[in-house]
Amino acid sequence: MAKRIFSGAQPTGNFHLGNYLGALRNWVELQHEYESLFCIVNLHAITLPQDPKILAQKTRDLARIYLAAGIDPKVSLVFIQSDVPEHAELAWVLNCVTRISELERMTQFKEKAARQRDSVGAGLLNYPTLMASDILLYQTELVPIGHDQKQHLELTRDLAIRFNRDYGETFRVPEPFIPKAGARIKSLAEPLKKMSKSDENAAGSIFLLDDADTVSRKFKRAVTDSGTEIRFDESRPAITNLLTIYQVLTGKQPEEVEANFAGKGYAQLKSELAETTIEFLRPLQERAGGYTDEALERTLDEGRERAQTIARATLEEVKSRMGLVGARARGAS
Ligand code: ATP
Ligand code: MG
């Protein structure tokens, strides 16, 4: 049987070209090789304050983006995390086998907490336990992750091993799956930083749902390096980033890309890049817009049902192992 994978993205901020090229595009490929679950992790999103209306809207947008990018709901499970309450229930159980010191050690927690100073929510600390529950609920074998999630997956494995040792074999211990290096796309405004959903400066990112004018404007304003030559060069991160985007979108070799721009100026590079990006996004945006609310609802309902069937079985096993089911019946006899 095909191995099972679980992937998720948070419906926060705007899904950008980096997210697509670095993650979603790989998922579309992986779904044909693995039994795949693709989740929209809105319970993770609320570990930081969110506007409820915007969160709901972004959740549906992200589901549309998954589908428009080629995640096929006939092949894969697509669902919203909060639709399957077993995630939160298992997270509680796992919180009881997780040590505070393990959570406090997480680099992502330390970074995010440092930005918030005195308003750090307990959810932010417990984020990795929820992620562990996402993965373990489905007896996942492989978890496609970027470098930033390696520590969280390590904790997930530790929790699975600990639970199995203390309560009996219950969880499959998942392995990290680091897909062949996808391109790391940088911010158009600050090319030393990666393109990020949480970046407050929208000018740095091309969003998947940006219209043509916005894409053109963002590329036009993208920072460049000194000099005039257009070639890949680590010491010139802005131009290298623009060329990387062009390369990935066109599927050309680096030499072909450089040959294409030989003798041309930055303005030409930016306008060709804008055109390429607009053409690339167009079919995706058309498909995203083509899903009616009803069609989306149906797909997500079906995803929820199928996911919940698997999740329930695991949670029942967990509860029985921990003495949380059957306690009354046995006590009465
Ligand atoms: P945030 O700023 O909230 O962390 P993000 O843009 O980093 O948002 P994530 O939700 O953390 O997005 O990541 C979703 C997926 O996109 C991950 O697999 C991550 O590795 C990938 N990804 C994120 N940013 C980039 C980027 N700039 N280039 C390539 N891949 C990226
Ligand atoms: Mg990130």
- Residue pLDDT, tens place only, 145-176: 877 889 999 999 999 999 999 999 999 999 99
22 in contact with ligand 1, CB cutoff 6 A: yes
pLDDT of residue 333: 44
Question: Which atom of ligand 1 is least distant from the CA of 9?
Answer: 10
pLDDT of residue 112: 87
197 in contact with ligand 1, CB cutoff 6 A: yes
198 in contact with ligand 1, CB cutoff 6 A: yes
Question: Which atom of ligand 1 is least distant from the CA of 186?
Answer: 27
- In this structure, the residue with its CA closest to atom 18 of ligand 1 is 23
Whole-angstrom CA distances from 330 to 180, 311, 321, 323, 327 are 52, 25, 14, 10, 5
Residue spans of the chain under pLDDT 50? 331-333
- In this structure, the residue with its CA closest to atom 26 of ligand 1 is 18
Question: 152, 183 in Cβ contact below 8 A?
Answer: no
Q: Which residues neighbour 76 within 8 Å (Cβ) at sequence distance 6 or greater?
A: 31, 36, 37, 38
pLDDT of residue 145: 87
- Determine whether 180 is an active site residue: no
- Determine whether 112 is an active site residue: yes
**What's the half-sphere exposure (Cβ side, CA atoms, 13 Å) at 80?**
22
pLDDT of residue 280: 96
pLDDT of residue 326: 65
